[in-house]
Structures are given as structure tokens and as C-alpha cells.
Amino acid sequence: MVISNSIPELDAISNVENVNNEASSSVQSGHNRKWSKMPRFEIGDRVEIVGEVGNQFPSSIGIITATEGTFALPKFRVRLTDGTESAFWDSQLEVPPLIFADMIYDTHVSPVPPGIRGSIYEHHMRFISREFDIHVKLTRLDERTTLHGQLSANGVAPKSSLVTLLLNRGPLATTVADSYGEFKVEQIPSGDAMLEILVPSRRIVAAFDVSPV
């Protein structure tokens, strides 16, 4: 799957699958020829299925992989977090409003409390956004940085959640959290990073830095 878009709200403020720029350019070129005007959604958008149709699927969260239909009746193919794909009308899709998570713990500025494993190669962070709790650990080994994360809402993992890592305001990778709310992204370069977590009716963003050890 090719991911080609960023978060518009983040651009206005100052914004597991690696991005393939060449494929993205080719897909977008064909996309522009098909549509005479800019559509409401584009390939790579993380969306929620809304309305009664959303109740027909095990997951209501996914990512747009292709465009179908006509300009007058646009349709978008969406890969849901359970791995299935289906086409939806424009009116059946929404991007939930953006909510920023607050960082409440960071081992770069706070000592590691008892009970949390850590070393000079690990960077632990914790974010909260209302009932959502996000734990992030960056591990650097042999000059490679890996992100491990876990998401919970009131202590329970959401039924479905789509996690996108943005680096320097552009999407780097998208993955699906498992039944425990855990997710992983590998081979992360240094830079300004953001986690975008899409759950039903919510789009949560947590910002942090990825720096060399």
C-alpha cells in the first residue's frame, strides 16, 4: 500500500508500510488524470466509515488505496484494519477531527521509575488524550531505531486502531495495532516525529523527536 499524504491541520498550524515515492508519484499522476478537480479524499488518507454501512463491517477504520467511480459519483477503495477491502461512496467516509495528546512522561527529561526496563539505548514516553493512554518506546541498536507502542482507552485496547508514523510532517509508515493495542515500526530515521492514531470518532496525534543516541 502506498501512503502519500500528510495531515492538513498540522501544515496549517506552523502538520507496517514504508512510503514508496516512485509508486506514489505514478498513482497520483493517474489519479489527477481521472479527476478534473481535487476530490475530498485522496490515496493514503486514513478514514472512518460512517453511517449505517459502517455497522456492516468488523472494522470501521481504514486507509484509502484507490479511487473509483466518476467525478459526479466518486468512490474510494478502503483497506480496513482487519485486512479486508471494500469500495465506499464519498458520503460514507469521514476523517475524524484532530486531537493532540499531551506528553506526561519522557525519560529524556525524567528518570526511569522503578518497574520500567530501560537502558541508554531506550527512550520511553507516555501521552494521554482524554481516556486514551499511549506508551511509546524508541530502541536504538546498531544505528537502527525501532518504535514500540501500546494504546489503551480506560485500560482496554480499542477494538480497531490505525497507527501512522509521520516524520518531518510526511507519512513514513502505517500499521495496525493488535488486540492488545500494541504496534511496532522499524528503521526510523532521525527527525521530528508524530504518531497519528485513528480510532472510531477520534484522530489522536502525539508529537516527539527521534534523535541519535
Do 3 and 171 contact (CB within 8 A), yes or no? yes
pLDDT digits (tens, 9 = 90+) for 92-104: 999 999 999 999 9
pLDDT band at 168 (very low <50, low <70, confident <90, very high): confident
Determine the pLDDT at residue 69. 80
Nearest Cα neighbor of 145 from 107, 191, 186 is 186
CB atoms closer than 10 angstroms to residue 20:
14
* Domains 8-94 and 98-210 are alike in CATH topology: no
Bridge pairing between strands 98-100 and 202-210: parallel
Distance CA 96, CA 113 (A): 35
Helix (H) or strand (E) holding 133: strand 132-141
Give domain limits for the chain.
8-94, 98-210
Q: Which fold has domain 8-94?
A: SH3 type barrels. (2.30.30)
Sequential DSSP letters for 97-132: PEEEPEEEEETTTSPPPTT----TTEEEEEEEETTE
pLDDT band at 19 (very low <50, low <70, confident <90, very high): very low
Question: Does the pLDDT value for residue 20 go beyond 50?
Answer: no
Of 135 and 38, the one with more pLDDT: 135
CATH architecture label of 98-210: Sandwich (2.60)
Nearest Cα neighbor of 40 from 1, 88, 79 is 88
